[in-house]
Chains A and B, each alone.
Chain A
């Protein structure tokens, strides 16, 4: 071939490559996750936080091309491009004095960042989560990385079997998390403090926490449980086994509401995974389970009688307060399970039973009072009936009028 042909064919190949990379960068989503609305870039940019800060298309894309369009940015170049400003503390201070500037540094430690550095472009970079042109602050409820949307954004890749297969990762995680108490709190109750993907995995430095750091992650909110667990015998046992602490019983993504039935030595119980009757702690396991069963039964029974009394028109505020105390004791019991010993747990069981007993007593007293009122009414009615009968006779015996 002549030189001109060679250059031409290379140019065409580059153009095709650039075109395909641009298409890839646009991030066609997988079949499972919802696709973000794709607006034309110029229109989307008008609502962008960068536009409001005075940036233009040229700021990121460079000068306009001869044909009026802008050059696409290669995927591996995106993060360094964003970092040009977002890692520059002096520059960012002009727009938001308190904003962090370590996102790129964190990204480079993450699995995504490390893969991207090796040239693997099928992992997330800045615009996959934050979008390219209509970028709004994280606080904005429209942002794909607002707390309620984070999981869905991650799921665009992580719930897509086709995208996960090359990396040998499970695409089921989003489904599992969606069934958890955390998803319930975040999405159904609107509790913005409930953990989503980034809470435990990090956002820019996204990496699954290692087995020895899981407990620290959960401890961000579940302080007491973590403290007690670390001081208990299980901590060293699990460390020796190389097991991630909380996960063994609670799982990592499908975190279900804990049940009393998890504790015990029967087939359905979690303890039975490792323990049987012969172990020294068998008695503790059984007594803890018994404590839960008794307190829950007492709370249920007291709750029932208080409901009945209230429906019958009795006001039972004292009883409800005692029941609230008993429920709190139950919560404390669930925390103290993590000591895996009898003493502090048993004391709270006693408190819970006492409070539930009080609530039951108030409910029973209310029902008794109801019976007393009805008996009192019966007596009063009898007296009135006696009076009416006598009065009737008197009226009948009145002298007849002409």
Chain B
């Protein structure tokens, strides 16, 4: 039976490759699990997303009612929907944690630059998933958050209005926006993500796990190779352990902190007080609030967007900016700490109603 498959598919080669894969073991090995954790949450999103697709209706007249239908009448619909919403947030959190752990452990160094770039792109894609998916229930909070969020793109000079029109499918947030966001959320982003994720994972297998500079130098000093553990079964079973804990966490959150639906969106009503985007956008939202209206004659919002775009570009090109000297790596570490401090402070300020 087995031989029928091995004659037609490269199973033997795959099995050999997996059996030979090892994972370095050292003080910082714990961070290696974050990538897989992000992947786990993504897979949960794919499964629950497909299930939701079976009952969801992407039109402004029916979207809200269909989500309510899922939550009240479809057996375990409440569970699928709550898991989808919670897992989205946990995925973005894990992605950020994964990014920063890779950054601090300098795993973006040669020859892993392409892995890094594809990873940063995947982070941006997950933010895109979050932004587009948020609108789909067509409730009050999502409608106004989307309006505010897409407004910001209008600050870009010359192309601003066109960008906003492209995003919204029109000058305002309407049913056309919902349809567009739906198409992006279930087709465009998944297609791009599948390709990039495939590349990312393939390259990780090809290059193996990176060892942080400090561990490398210590091994060189003591003239000992870095200890490793086999991927199968040692690392894989630990990975499975983490994934199962995450699954239990998702189930618990869904039962005790179910995701709210709120009120149906009414485009003609005025925005309720306290509209804010999801937590992973809060820091940008708050930072924009602090920008003065004009700085040296240039629109304050535009400066903030420019700064964030520069930051994003620096992030993407990090492997080329860091010269891989001890000093250069230290600068990157401290820059990352400063960035985390800034983002955390902005988020806390946003949550505590600071202005």
Contact = CB atoms under 8 A, between A and B. Distances in A.
Interface of A: 313, 315, 317, 373-374, 376-377, 380-381, 384-385, 387-388, 391-392, 394-395, 398, 401-402
A395 B252 CA distance: 25
B244 A317 contact: no
B252 A377 contact: yes
Contact of A377 (B227, B230, B255, B261): B255
A366 to B, nearest CB: 10
B191 interface: no
Contacts of A381: 248, 251-252
Contact of A315 (B72, B230, B248): B72
A374 B25 CA distance: 39
Interface of B: 25, 68, 71-72, 78-79, 227-230, 233-234, 237-238, 240-241, 244-245, 247-248, 251-252, 254-256, 258, 260-261
A117 B330 CA distance: 102
Contacts of B71: 315
Given A315-B261, A391-B241, A402-B227, 8 more contacts: A315-B71, A377-B252, A381-B252, A384-B247, A388-B248, A398-B233, A401-B25, A401-B227
B241 A395 contact: yes
Contacts, number: 54
B251 A388 contact: no
B261 A380 contact: no
A253 to B, nearest CB: 38
B251 A313 contact: no
Nearest to A376: B255
Contacts of A373: 78-79, 255
B228 A315 contact: no
A398 B240 contact: no
Nearest to B229: A401
A395 B245 contact: no
Contacts of A315: 68, 71-72, 261
A114 B292 CA distance: 71
22 contacts: A315-B71, A317-B68, A373-B255, A374-B255, A374-B256, A377-B251, A377-B252, A380-B248, A384-B248, A384-B251, A385-B248, A388-B248, A391-B241, A392-B241, A395-B237, A395-B241, A398-B233, A398-B234, A401-B25, A401-B227, A401-B228, A401-B229
B246 to A, nearest CB: 11
Contacts of A392: 241
Contacts of B245: 388
A266 B259 CA distance: 51
A398 B252 contact: no
Contact of A391 (B72, B229, B244, B260): B244
Contacts of B234: 395, 398, 401
A388 B240 CA distance: 9
B244 A313 contact: no
A313 B258 contact: yes
Nearest to B69: A315
Contacts of B68: 315, 317
A315 B67 CA distance: 11
Given A395-B238, A398-B233, A384 B255 contact: no
B251 A380 contact: yes
A396 to B, nearest CB: 10
Nearest to A373: B255
B227 A388 contact: no
B255 A398 contact: no
**Which of A317, A385, A398 counts the most chain B CB atoms within 10 A?**
A398
Contact of B244 (A384, A398, A401): A384
B254 to A, nearest CB: 8
B251 A387 contact: no
Contacts of A384: 244, 247-248, 251
A391 B255 CA distance: 25
Contacts of A387: 244
Contacts of B255: 373-374, 376-377
A387 B234 CA distance: 17
Q: What 4 pairs across the A-B complex have the smallest Cβ distances? A: A313-B258, A377-B255, A315-B72, A384-B248
A321 to B, nearest CB: 13
Nearest to B230: A401
A380 B83 CA distance: 15
**Which of B68, B237, B255 counts the most chain A CB atoms within 10 A?**
B255
B244 A388 contact: yes
A374 B256 CA distance: 8
A313 B237 contact: no
Nearest to A377: B255
